[in-house]
Amino acid sequence: MSLLEFSSDAFMAAFFLYCFAFMFYVIAIAGKKWSNRDPQEHEKRWSKIAFFVSSTGLAAHLTFFFTRWFGSPMKQIPTSNMYEFMTFLGMAIMIAFTIIHAMYRKPLLGMFALPLTVIIVSYASVFPQEVQPLIPALNSIWLKVHVTTAALGEAFFAVGFAAGLMYLLRVVNFDDTTKKARRSQFWVEFTLYSIIVIIGFIIAVFGFRAAGYEAQFTQENVLIDANGAEQSKIETVNYYLPPIVQPYNSEIVNIQSFLGMDKPLFEAPHWMDGINAGRKLNTVVWSIIAGTLLYGLLRLLFRKRMGAVIHPMMDGIDPDDLDEISYRAIAIGFPIFTLGALIFAMIWAEIAWGRFWGWDPKEVWALITWLFYSAYLHFRLSKGWQGLRSAWLAVIGFVIVLFTLIGVNLIIAGLHSYSGV
């Protein structure tokens, strides 16, 4: 067995161990009500089991990372495409969770950090998993220090997000009918819905991939060369989700029928340039459809909002502890992110492209992320923004991080677009 094959097996082992650890954390927290044991003893016992399993999963994840690194033909660090980066981010979140857990010993955090890791690892598996050669701009030692430190900083932001969301689920009263309470309930529910949309996207991709679904389109583009002459170029794009949206001004090559739909419902707007624009819009549409269906099924199953389902599990949890954990995680992650996403990134940009800063979309959003968390720490330390305000900022901040990672890489064209390959 080659190192790369062993690496894939280690990755699958890590994924399933994370899933089991999450279930054990749920048993530790939610199972207290039905256990015949003393609730504290029950929680302590199952928390130890859950933490051991999650740590074993992290060990398997580290094994995946290093065996893929040393098993690749060019011995390149596995952070050079979306699959590798997102798997590394999932591993970094587990490292950050382990550190924060060692500091505070709060098992409830695992009930939120573990599913976040599982979602990110599952999302990574959507992308091509082959080892891809580095393009010249990436072939630098600064790739290692820039990407790894930026991801580790974002991992601590993710733990801060998990604790912040837990705080909101703990303090928001889902039985209150006042206007202010309903507004808080709506935004907490919308946050949970957004997470379910990502899960729905992953389910849809793997479902249609298992069914072998594929459609293909061609698009003719007219290019003008340096001499002013027109040249025609035909590009092809493959869809692996049924094409609700087809690329603008494109022709169908082949399409499999799905639920009687043997042609796209509409065409992407003309201002969405590039043959891949329609495919990306189609992915967004399918994510919303699949996520909404999944959310609707969960609402039918529990007959109440998801926030109201989770809220009772927070009984007995000190919200001040959650507030402190969220702040501490972000405070640890901020200087690491500053080094990785700004300082090391600018050094790498100077070496790769001959300038420290070029207003590339990824650079701009990394700066927006840094400014947002700078404001978070300023309001927290200087203005006394604790509790509810601090929790909302932690949640919003990680939404910005996710857009920087996913939206900028895969939707907005720029020098970092290769990261989405």
Q: State the DSSP H helix or E strand holding residue 231, giving kind and residue range, or none if neither.
A: strand 230-239
Give the 3-state secondary structure of residue 216: strand
Res 398: pLDDT:
92
pLDDT (tens digit per residue) in 293-325: 999 999 999 999 999 998 887 877 888 889 999
Res 232: pLDDT:
73
**At residue 416, does pLDDT exceed 60?**
no
> Which residue(s) pair with 232 in the sheet?
222
The residues, ordered by sequence, that sit 6+ positions from 409 with a Cβ below 8 Å of its Cβ are 82, 362, 416, 417, 419, 420
Res 420: pLDDT:
43
Percent of the chain with pLDDT over 90: 38
pLDDT (tens digit per residue) in 239-251: 889 999 888 888 8
> Residue 419 has which token pair?
């990261």
Q: Largest Cα–Cα distance in the chain?
A: 83
- Which of 30-34, 112-116, 379-383 has the weakest average pLDDT? 30-34
If one counts every other C-beta atom within 10 angstroms of the C-beta of residue 261, the result is: 13
What is the residue-wise DSSP string for 159-199?
HHHHHHHHHHHHHS-TT--SHHHHHHHHHHHHHHHHHHHHH
Using alpha carbons, select from 325, 319, 311 the residue that is nearest to residue 105: 325
User: What average pLDDT is seen over the chain?
Assistant: 85
Asked if 21 and 121 count as a contact pair (C-beta separation under 8 A), the reply is no
pLDDT (tens digit per residue) in 109-168: 888 889 999 999 998 888 888 877 766 656 678 778 888 999 999 999 999 999 999 999
Q: Which residue has the higher pLDDT, 72 or 365?
A: 365
> Residue 122 has which token pair?
């599952």
Q: What are the phi and psi torsion angles at 255 (to 5°)?
A: -155, 135
* Average pLDDT value for residue range 80-92: 89
Res 37: pLDDT:
65
Whole-structure pTM value:
0.87
Q: Burial level of 270, CB count in 10 A (0-12/13-18/19+)? A: exposed
Using alpha carbons, select from 46, 57, 171, 63 the residue that is nearest to residue 115: 57
pLDDT (tens digit per residue) in 267-290: 888 777 677 778 888 888 898 999
Q: Which residue has the higher pLDDT, 390 or 221?
A: 390
Asked if 89 and 154 count as a contact pair (C-beta separation under 8 A), the reply is yes
Res 415: pLDDT:
46
Highest mean pLDDT among 1-15, 350-364, 372-386 belongs to: 372-386
Terminal C-alpha separation, the chain: 27
Using alpha carbons, select from 406, 337, 340, 409 the residue that is nearest to residue 376: 337
Q: Tell me which residue has tokens 């996710």.
A: 402
Q: What is the β-pairing status of strands 230-239 and 215-224?
A: antiparallel
Q: State the DSSP H helix or E strand holding residue 335, giving kind and residue range, or none if neither.
A: helix 319-337
Confidence of residue 359 (pLDDT cuts 50, 70, 90): confident
Asked if 335 and 152 count as a contact pair (C-beta separation under 8 A), the reply is no
Confidence of residue 228 (pLDDT cuts 50, 70, 90): low
**At residue 413, does pLDDT exceed 70?**
no
Confidence of residue 421 (pLDDT cuts 50, 70, 90): very low
Q: State the DSSP H helix or E strand holding residue 230, giving kind and residue range, or none if neither.
A: strand 230-239
Res 61: pLDDT:
95
Using alpha carbons, select from 386, 411, 387 the residue that is nearest to residue 287: 411
User: In angstroms, what CA-CA distances link 282 with 204, 270, 405?
Assistant: 12, 15, 19
Q: Which residue has the higher pLDDT, 39 or 131?
A: 131
User: In angstroms, what CA-CA distances link 33 with 39, 168, 186?
Assistant: 7, 22, 28
Give the 3-state secondary structure of residue 311: helix
Q: Burial level of 66, CB count in 10 A (0-12/13-18/19+)? A: middle
Res 137: pLDDT:
59
pLDDT (tens digit per residue) in 332-343: 999 999 998 889
